Amino acid sequence: MTSTASHSATPPHGRPLPGDHGGVPGDALRPAPESDGTLPAGPGPWSVRSVGAGRGRAALEVYEHGELADVLVAARLTPQLLRGARRCAVGGRSYRVLAWGRLAADGTAPAVAFTGGGWLRAFRGARAVAGEVVTVAGRFWLAWAEGPFDGVLVEHPAGGGVERLALQRVRMSRGAGAVAGGAG
């Protein structure tokens, strides 16, 4: 986890806490509980699990290679729609990307576009390609695409500011297939 938000276990200076592995306390990184409602999140090494609001607020857990990568809690106090974005190379020149965040206060999903790098810009002239967007638990959204993208743009359909985020690179685990952890 590389975020330095107030909820992060990694201090802002980026150095791990003494006795920890990478600044994550105890057993915070754990395998995704397959029998506990974890679902694939598009093609790639990602899966998600929605946690109900029974004892608090609803949350979306994002797993990467079976390990917890992010937890997004439903909140109406922030207008921020975009929370995270990742990319991974699969095989020679095949790439998978995933972005996630909160739905807008009115419950609508944002418009999500992945911005291109590499051959996408050079040969197709395209600068952005719309991602496939789905909603999760009526509070969150996921978007994915395939291609050599390096960033994501998110905008509320009713207008407003555009949120941008660079995609974090993820390495496919050794021996993983082309759609490890994802829907083929």
Q: How far apart are CA 141 and CA 101, in angstroms?
A: 6
- pTM of whole model > 0.95? no
In a domain, 69, yes or no: yes
In a domain, 68, yes or no: yes
Task: Note down the domain range covering 131.
Answer: 34-170
In a domain, 43, yes or no: yes
132 touches 109 (CB < 8 A): no
Both tokens of 9, joined, read 């276990």
Question: Does residue 49 register a pLDDT over 70?
Answer: yes
In a domain, 25, yes or no: no
How confident is residue 59, by pLDDT bands cut at 50, 70 and 90?
very high
Kindly give, in sequence order, each residue whose CB lies less than 8 Å from that of residue 125, ignoring residues fewer than 6 positions away.
Answer: none
In a domain, 45, yes or no: yes
In a domain, 2, yes or no: no
Environment class of 7 (CB within 10 Å of its CB; exposed 0-12, middle 13-18, buried 19+): exposed
Please state whether 139 falls in left (phi above 0), alpha (psi between -120 and 50) or beta.
alpha
In the chain, the number of structural domains is 1
73 touches 92 (CB < 8 A): no
Tens digit of each residue's pLDDT (9 = 90 or more) over 82-107: 999 999 887 777 889 999 999 998 88
Element (H, E) at 62: strand 59-64
Question: Does residue 7 register a pLDDT over 70?
Answer: no
Question: Does residue 144 register a pLDDT over 50?
Answer: yes
Q: How far apart are the first and last CA of the chain?
A: 27
Q: What integer pLDDT is reported at residue 93 of this predicted model?
A: 73
Q: How far apart are CA 68 and CA 24, in angstroms?
A: 11
In a domain, 159, yes or no: yes
In a domain, 180, yes or no: no
51 touches 62 (CB < 8 A): no
- Residue 106 three-state SS: coil
Element (H, E) at 39: strand 39-40
Average pLDDT over residues 45-57: 81
How confident is residue 28, by pLDDT bands cut at 50, 70 and 90?
very low
